[in-house]
Chain A
Amino acid sequence: MRSRFHPPRWLRRLAIAGAIVVALLVVIRIVLDPVATHFTRKTLSETPGIRGDLRDVHVTVFPPGYQITRVKIVEHPGGDWKHPLFYAERVKVTVDWRELLHARLAARARIDEPKIVINNRGKQKKEEAKEKAPDLRRTLEHLLPGRLTRVEVRDGELLYRDLGAPRHPEIWVHDLELAVENIATRVALAHGRPVTLNASAKLGRSGDLTMFVSADPFAKKQDFAGEVSLRGWKVAELFDLIEPKTKLQTPEGTLDLFAEFKATGGLITGGVKPVLKNVEVRPTEDNFGNRLKAWIADEGLDLFSDRVPGRNAVVTVIPIKGRLDSPDIQLWTTVLGVVRNAFVEGISSGFTHLPPRTAEKQQGKVEQVKKALDKDQGPPKAQPTDGEKGGKT
Chain B
Amino acid sequence: MRPGWPVAVILSLALGASCAHTKSTDSGETKEPDKQASGKKKAPEPGAGTNPNLHPGHPEEIPVATRPEALLAPGADNDIRDKLAERGFLKEGAGSSQSSTREGIRRFQRAEDLPATGIADQETVKRLGLDPEKVFRKATVKD
Q: Footprint of B on A, CB under 8 Å?
A: 10, 14, 98, 101-102, 150, 152-154, 177-179, 181-182, 187-194, 196, 198-200, 210, 212, 214-216, 218-221, 223-227, 260-262, 264-265, 270
Q: Are A153 and B63 in contact (CB under 8 A)?
A: no
A-B residue pairs, 9 tightest by C-beta: A192-B138, A192-B139, A177-B115, A198-B117, A198-B119, A216-B62, A10-B3, A225-B66, A179-B115
Docked complex Cα distance between A270 and B65 (Å) = 12
What number of residue pairs across chains A and B have CB atoms under 8 A from each other? 129
Query: In the complex, which residue of chain A has the Cβ closest to the Cβ of B116?
Result: A177
By a CB distance below 8 angstroms, the chain A residues around B33 are: 188-192
Q: Are A261 and B63 in contact (CB under 8 A)?
A: no
- Are A219 and B66 also in contact (CB < 8 A) when A177-B117, A198-B117, A200-B117 are? no
By a CB distance below 8 angstroms, the chain B residues around A196 are: 68, 71, 121
Docked complex Cα distance between A261 and B66 (Å) = 7
Query: In the complex, which residue of chain A has the Cβ closest to the Cβ of B4?
Result: A10
By a CB distance below 8 angstroms, the chain B residues around A190 are: 33, 59, 62, 141
Docked complex Cα distance between A98 and B75 (Å) = 30
Q: Are B115 and A218 in contact (CB under 8 A)?
A: no
Docked complex Cα distance between A167 and B140 (Å) = 54
Contact residue among B55, B64, B123 (Cβ-Cβ distance under 8 Å from A215): B64
Q: Are B55 and A14 in contact (CB under 8 A)?
A: no
Q: Are B71 and A265 in contact (CB under 8 A)?
A: no
List 13 A-B pairs, Cβ < 8 Å.
Answer: A102-B32, A102-B34, A181-B121, A193-B62, A193-B139, A198-B119, A212-B68, A214-B71, A218-B55, A220-B53, A220-B54, A225-B66, A261-B66
By a CB distance below 8 angstroms, the chain B residues around A220 are: 52-55
Q: Are B141 and A154 in contact (CB under 8 A)?
A: no
Q: Are A198 and B68 in contact (CB under 8 A)?
A: yes
Q: Are B115 and A192 in contact (CB under 8 A)?
A: no
Q: Are B117 and A223 in contact (CB under 8 A)?
A: no
- Are A226 and B117 also in contact (CB < 8 A) when A98-B30, A187-B57, A192-B139 are? no
Q: Are A192 and B68 in contact (CB under 8 A)?
A: no
Q: Are B114 and A179 in contact (CB under 8 A)?
A: yes
Q: Are B116 and A200 in contact (CB under 8 A)?
A: yes
Query: In the complex, which residue of chain A has the Cβ closest to the Cβ of B136?
Result: A193
Query: In the complex, which residue of chain A has the Cβ closest to the Cβ of B102?
Result: A210
Docked complex Cα distance between A224 and B64 (Å) = 6
By a CB distance below 8 angstroms, the chain A residues around B119 are: 179, 198, 212
14 more CB-based (< 8 A) A-B contacts, given A198-B68, A210-B117, A214-B64 = A101-B17, A152-B115, A178-B115, A179-B114, A189-B34, A192-B62, A193-B62, A196-B121, A200-B117, A212-B119, A219-B58, A221-B53, A225-B65, A270-B66
- Are A262 and B66 also in contact (CB < 8 A) when A101-B18, A182-B122, A198-B119 are? yes
Instruction: Report the contact-size class of chain B (Cβ under 8 Å from the partner).
Output: 35 or more
Docked complex Cα distance between A218 and B64 (Å) = 12
By a CB distance below 8 angstroms, the chain A residues around B55 are: 187, 218-220
Query: In the complex, which residue of chain B has the Cβ closest to the Cβ of A178?
Result: B115
Docked complex Cα distance between A192 and B55 (Å) = 14
Docked complex Cα distance between A179 and B64 (Å) = 17
Closest beta carbon of chain B to A164's beta carbon, Å: 33
By a CB distance below 8 angstroms, the chain B residues around A212 are: 66-68, 119
Query: In the complex, which residue of chain B has the Cβ closest to the Cβ of A227?
Result: B66
By a CB distance below 8 angstroms, the chain A residues around B32 are: 102
Q: Are A198 and B121 in contact (CB under 8 A)?
A: yes
User: What 1/0 flags go to B101-115 for Cβ under 8 Å of A?
Assistant: 000001001000011
Docked complex Cα distance between A215 and B52 (Å) = 17
Query: In the complex, which residue of chain B has the Cβ closest to the Cβ of A212?
Result: B68
Query: In the complex, which residue of chain A has the Cβ closest to the Cβ of B118?
Result: A200
Closest beta carbon of chain A to B32's beta carbon, Å: 7
Q: Are A181 and B64 in contact (CB under 8 A)?
A: no
By a CB distance below 8 angstroms, the chain A residues around B17 are: 101
By a CB distance below 8 angstroms, the chain B residues around A260 are: 66-67
By a CB distance below 8 angstroms, the chain B residues around A198 are: 68, 115, 117-119, 121
Closest beta carbon of chain B to A268's beta carbon, Å: 12
Query: In the complex, which residue of chain A has the Cβ closest to the Cβ of B37?
Result: A188
